[in-house]
Amino acid sequence: MQVVDLDRDTIKRGLAEGSLLVIDVREPHEYSAGHIPGAVSHPLSGFDPDAVAALVAEDGRQPVFSCASGVRSVHALMAAQQAGLDITHHYKGGFKDWYGAGETIA
């Protein structure tokens, strides 16, 4: 399995440049309580590789999985890679790092 850890600055830059698609794999109640602006919700509990593949193909940006702290995002990477998807990036610190640094949340 290939895992590329991205930090907060890289996520911020990618969102600002429009080059990263942040896929939040936390549960819907977590997402609705606060998320990284621009992130799309795709909960790990109902992970569908075909839906992720369609989202990534339609969007065109580099996909990056994100969760609360970087654990579920690695599980999402494993599931995606096992399904044959070429997704390798995740936000290592996740939402806790983002929120803890005082970044804007949606």
Q: For the chain, state the CA radius of gyration.
A: 12
Average pLDDT over residues 73-77: 97
Q: What is the pLDDT of residues 10-38, one digit of tens each?
A: 999 999 999 999 999 999 999 999 999 99
pLDDT of 53 strictly over 90: yes
Neighbours of 20 (CB within 10 A): 23
Average pLDDT over residues 92-96: 97
